[in-house]
Each structure stands twice: as structure tokens, then as C-alpha cells.
Structure 1
Amino acid sequence: MKLKMLLAAIAVGAAGPALASEAVMTVFKTPNCGCCVAWVEALEEAGYSIEVQDLNDLSVIKKNAGVSDEMASCHTAVLEEDGRKYVVEGHVPLEALEKLRLERPEIRGVAVPGMPMGSLGMGNDPSARYDVLELSTKANAPVFMSIGDR
């Protein structure tokens, strides 16, 4: 019996750090946006823990997140992991999210402005070309990652 308790304690202790580093994302979208649903489903399939908040008006969310009209897309998300929070605006691909999580840069977040055809949730075309930008108030936001052949 003591051996079982010891093994259980070791198992819980070993699982602790892995659970603590799990990314959680809250996605704010409008109720009838099909491409937002496709983006969320792709993230869930990749193992992300997602909470969806359906709202009729996202303007307050975007304003509070610091998303300008130039950077805006159809949904806004907040990625939380290990005490860090990043704003994720629009159809940001999985590879950009993984880069964000690995590098943990000192930025507010990332954005794919508009709704580029072929991006994640917008057809998932591997040949699509677009940029993932650093979420910025600058007129020319820095490119965080380029997607597709350039």
C-alpha cells in the first residue's frame, strides 16, 4: 500500500511541471463566424486548450488588447502560458504560435491582419503567402514570421 502511495506521489510530482506549462487560449469571436470556428478547431486538434467567448461586438475586446484597425481581423485571442500573456489577432498559423511559445519575445502579441485566403481557418492552403506581424502601434509593424515561399 505504501509503495502505491509513493508511486502515485511521484507520478503527480512528475506531471506537475508539464501541466504548469500548458498553454491556454481564450478566443473572442462573433457567434456566426465560420472561419473563426475552423481556426479554433485546428488549434484544438493541435492540442491547445481553448475557451471560446462568443460576443456580438468585439470592439471593446480589440481596444483593450491594443489591436488597431490596421491590425484587426475577425477574432482576437489571448494566449496564456507560464505567467506570460500574448494577444493573438486573426488567422495566426500554428508555426507562428509555436515560435511565439518557444522564443517568448518581449512583444504584446502577433497578428495576421484581415483574412488572408489560404491562412489557417481560411482554406489552409500550404502555398499561401502572408506575414504574421508583431502586434504594434507602429505604422509599419515588424514582421514576426513570413508564411509561404518568399
Structure 2
Amino acid sequence: MNKIQLSFILLLATPLFAADNDVSVNSKSNLLLVHKTPTCGCCKEWVKHAKNHGFNVTTQDHQSLEKIKSMYKITPEYRSCHTTISSNGFVFEGHIPSQYIEKFLSEDHPNAIGLTVPGMPLGSPGMDFDDRFMPYDVLILFKDGSSEVYAEVRE
């Protein structure tokens, strides 16, 4: 059994031991495994954001995320500093606001692999700096490698 398989087993078992949490996404889909590097401060802040919005988050540190991103077919133009995998297999790349993850998980997307916020836009969750903000798009990623705008974040 490799580390990723073991991580998912532990991730799926966590609700059995966790306190009841008022979460609007169902208990299976609110489990997130965040792959990040050990020194990334903005990744840690994004994890806090997800937890504060009701997600049950586990982290796994890697010296390099190249293999993880390639395994989940996240091409360079869609990459950010951390890669999150839901317990039902969807990919959430980068600093995605939790409400869009929750919305995505409540919908049916048979041809999608997940969502991404490419790069590290200023003002996105985990990228807070004073009151500065840079508008950005949340993209939906499809199995064929294409994407389209899922949400526009303008404030």
C-alpha cells in the first residue's frame, strides 16, 4: 500500500472519530486531502479557510508536487501551489474559495475532473495581503484537458 492509498484510507476513516460538524455538503464529499510542500504558508492559510467553512481537511507534505499534479492530469497552465483531492476523487487546484468547492460537489459534472484557480491571485483564500485584491476566475477542468470559466471572482 503506498502513501496516497494509506492517506485516503485514513481520510475516509476520519469522520468515524470526528465530532459532529454542521456542514452543508454531505459527509462523504466534505473530506479533502491537500497535497502541499512543507514550507508553503499560503497553503496552510487555505487549509484554515477550508476548515473554517466546514470541510474536514487532511494535509500531506511533499518536497515536490510534480508527480501528484501529473497523476491528476493538471497541466502547467492550470497549476497552483497546492493540489486538493476530495474523497470522491475530484481535484481542486489552488486557492479556490470554499463556496465554489461546495457548489461543485453538490452538482453533477460527469466530464469534469475538478476546479482550479491557476497561479496565486492576490486576495484569494490564503493569499490575503492587506486589502489588496486581483480579480480572478475559477475554472472547471474537463477530462479531455479543456476548461471553461465556472465562476468569476471580482470582489
TM-score tier by shorter-chain length is 0.7 to 0.9
- In structure 2, list runs of 5 or more residues that go unmatched: 1-19
TM-score, normalisation: structure 1: 0.77
CA drift of 1:115 comes to 0.4
Change (3 A) 1:99 1:128: farther
- 1:123 equivalent in structure 2: 128
- Give structure 1 stretches of 5+ with no counterpart: 1-14
**Number of the residue aligned with 2:51:** 44
CA shift in 2, pair 1:114/1:127, >3 Å:
closer
CA contact (8 A) 1:126 1:148 kept: no
CA-CA distance at 1:94 after TM superposition: 1.4
Q: State the secondary structure of the residue aligned to 1:92.
A: coil
Tell me if structure 2 keeps the 8 A contact 1:76–1:89: yes
Partner of 2:109: 105
Q: CA deviation at 1:37?
A: 0.2
- Corresponding residue SS for 2:69: helix
**Distance (whole Å) between structure 2 residues aligned to residue 103 and residue 126 of structure 1:** 32
Establish whether residue 146 from structure 1 lines up as the match of residue 149 from structure 2. Answer: no
With structure 2 as the length reference, what TM-score do the two structures score? 0.75
1:104 CA drift (Å): 3.2
Contact conserved, 2:33 with 2:85, CA < 8 A, in 1? Answer: yes
CA–CA distance in structure 2, aligned partners of residues 47 and 105 of structure 1: 22
Q: Matched residue of 1:70: which SS?
A: helix
The answer on 1:27 being equivalent to 2:27 is: no
Shift of 1:47: 1.4
User: Could you tell me how far apart the structure 2 residues matched to 1:79 and 1:63 are?
Assistant: 17
Give 1:148 deviation, angstroms: 1.8
Instruction: Report what 1:91 is aligned to.
Output: 95
Per-residue deviation, residues 82-115 of structure 1 (Å, max 9, x unmatched): xx32100000111211211221322110000000
1:59 to 1:127, Cα distance in 2 relative to 1, 3 A: closer
- Alignment size in residue pairs: 127
For the pair shown, the structure with the greater C-alpha radius of gyration is 1
